[in-house]
Amino acid sequence: MKSLDQLVRPNIKSLKPYSSARDEFSGEEAVFLDANENPYNQPYNRYPDPYQRKLKKRIAEIKHVSEDSIFLGNGSDEAIDLAFRAFCEPGLDNVVSIDPTYGMYQVAADINNIETRKVKLTSDFELDVDALLKAADDHTKLLFICSPNNPTGNSFKADDIVKLIEQFEGIVVLDEAYIDFVPEKSFLKKLPTYPNLIVLQTFSKAWGMAGIRLGMAFASQEIIRIFNHIKYPYNVNILTQEKAFDLLAAEEDKNKWVADLMEQKKLMTQQFDGYSFVEKIYPSDANYLLIKTTAPREIYNYLVEQGVIIRDRSTVALCEGCLRVTIGTQEENNSLYQALGKYEQECM
Ligand SMILES: *Cc1c(COP(=O)(O)O)cnc(C)c1O
C-alpha cells in the first residue's frame, strides 16, 4: 500500500484542528468556567466528552480492541463521510466500490465531488477481485466493501477480502454493519495486520439502537487520529453517549434478538419457498432476505395497501425482480405472510 502520508489530503495533513475547552482541560471535580456553558440545567448544560472516553472503554472491552483504534460517530454514515474528507481531493481523486451495495458510499462521494468507479459483483454476488483492482489508478484512495453486503445479504469470501486489502494501494473500508449476525466473519481481529483497513460497525442493527445514532469505525491509531482532527468537536451528544453506555450492559438482549431473528429468517425462507411468485431466495448472513419474484413492483404496491412496507430493489444492478425484506418479529412476519397469501389468491 501507499503510506498514509501519501494518501491523506495535503490540507488535512497540515490542518490545525479546533481545540475545544474540553480538549485543553478534561479532568473532573473542578469548577468549570472555561466553555461559556450555563451553570444551571444540569446535566444537559455541559458539553459532552469530545472523545467519548467512558463509552470507548466499554466498547474496547466488548470488541477486544484498544480504545485508540476506535472512532465513534453520528451513525457509521459519519465515518463514511470522514473517510472522503480525509483522503479524497474533490474533483481529482476517485474511489472504487462494488455494485450493488449500500447507497451511502455513492452519495457521500457525490457530495464530496469524488468519482465512484463501480465494479459489478459476479452473477452469484461474489467479489470480482481482479476487476476491482484493475478499476483503481493512481488517484484511487478508497475501496468500499460491504460484508455481509446490503442488499444481497451474503458475506464475501475471506480470501477475496484479504487479497483486496493486501493488493489495493489505498485504504479499504470494510462495512460490517450486519456482522453481529455472523460475528465469526469479522475482520476486526485482523486490524493490527493491516494499516490500510478501516472496519465500520454500527449499533443500528443487531443492537437495536438506530434511533440514537451511534456508529463505529475501527482503524490504526494514525487513521483514528486524523478522524478526530476533522470531525465536529462534539459529534456524539450526551444523551447518545449515556444511553448507549447503559444499553451496552445488556449484551445478552442483543444476543437473544440475534438468535430470535435468525430463527425467524429460517421460517421466512420456508414460507417464501411456498409462494408461486417467488423465483429465488438468496442466502443471507444478515437480518433481511433478498427475494427474486415475478412481479416486484406489483407485490410491493399490494403490500403497501395492506400496510406492510418492504423494499423494492428491482431497479438495482443484478437485482432484477428482487424485493428486500427485513426480518421482523413473529407477529410482524405473520402480517406479511397473510398479506402475501391474499396477494397470491387475488392476483396470481
Ligand atoms: C444500516 C447500514 C449502516 C448503518 O448506518 P448507521 O449510520 O450506523 O445507522 C451502515 N452500512 C450499511 C451497509 C447498512 O446497511
Written as one string, the DSSP assignment of 36-63 is ---SSSTTTTSPPPTT-HHHHHHHHHHH
Work out the percent of the chain whose per-residue pLDDT is above 90: 95
pLDDT at 309: 98
Strand order in the sheet with 288-293: 278-281, 288-293, 322-326, 311-312
pLDDT value at residue 3: 96
- What is the structure's pLDDT at 172? 98
Q: What is the mean pLDDT of residues 256-264?
A: 98
Q: pLDDT above 70 covers what percent of the chain?
A: 100
Residue positions counted in the chain: 348
- Check pLDDT > 90 for residue 224: yes
Region 320-347: mean pLDDT is 97
- What average pLDDT does range 299-318 have in this prediction? 98
| Relative orientation angle of helices 238-248 and 53-63, to the nearest 10 degrees | 30
Q: Which residue has the cell 490545525?
A: 16
CA-nearest residue for atom 14, ligand 1, is 177
If you average pLDDT over residues 197-223, what whole number do you get?
A: 98
pLDDT at 29: 80
Q: CA 101 from chain center: how many Å?
A: 11
Answer yes or no: is pLDDT of 28 > 90: no
Q: Answer yes or no: pTM beyond 0.75.
A: yes
Please report the DSSP string for 243-290 in residue order.
HHHHHHTTHHHHHHHHHHHHHHHHHHHHHHHT-TTEEEE---SSSEEE
Distance CA 55, CA 50 (A): 11
In the reported structure, the alpha carbon of residue 211 is separated from the centroid of ligand 1 by a whole-number distance in angstroms of: 12
Please say if the pLDDT value at position 312 is more than 90. yes
Q: Which one-letter amino acid corresponds to residue 24?
A: E
Nearest CA to ligand 1 atom 12: 177
Q: Which three cell numbers stand for residue 207?
A: 443492537
Q: Supply the pLDDT for residue 20.
A: 86
Please give the pLDDT value at position 30: 87
Which residues' Cβ are closer than 6 Å to ligand 1?
A: 75-77, 102, 146, 150, 175, 177, 202, 204-205, 210, 215
When pLDDT is averaged across residues 42-61 and rounded to a whole number, the result is 96
Q: What's the pLDDT at 17?
A: 86
Q: pLDDT (tens digit, 9 = 90+) per residue, 119-173?
A: 999 999 999 999 999 999 999 999 999 999 999 999 999 999 999 999 999 999 9
pLDDT in tens, 57-108: 999 999 999 999 999 999 999 999 999 999 999 999 999 999 999 999 999 9
Average pLDDT over residues 200-215: 97
Confidence of residue 334 (pLDDT cuts 50, 70, 90): very high
**Quick check: 79 and 175 in contact, CB under 8 A?**
no
Which pLDDT band holds residue 276 (cuts at 50, 70, 90)? very high
Q: How far is the CA of 341 from the centre of ligand 1 (A)?
A: 31
Q: Tell me whether strands 322-326 and 311-312 are parallel, antiparallel or unpaired.
A: antiparallel
pLDDT recorded at residue 55? 98
**Residue 48: predicted pLDDT:** 95
Mean pLDDT of 292-315: 98
Atom of ligand 1 at shortest range from CA of 204: 9
Average pLDDT over the chain, rounded to whole?
97
What pLDDT does residue 19 have? Answer: 86
Q: How far is the CA of 102 from the centre of ligand 1 (A)?
A: 8
Q: Per DSSP, what are the bridge partners of residue 145?
A: 174
Residue 239 has pLDDT above 90, yes or no: yes
* pLDDT at 325 exceeding the cut of 90: yes
Relative to the CA of 146, which ligand 1 atom is closest?
13
| pLDDT for residue 22 is more than 90 | no
Pocket probe mutation, ligand 1, options 74, 81, 104, max atoms within 8 Å of Cβ: 104
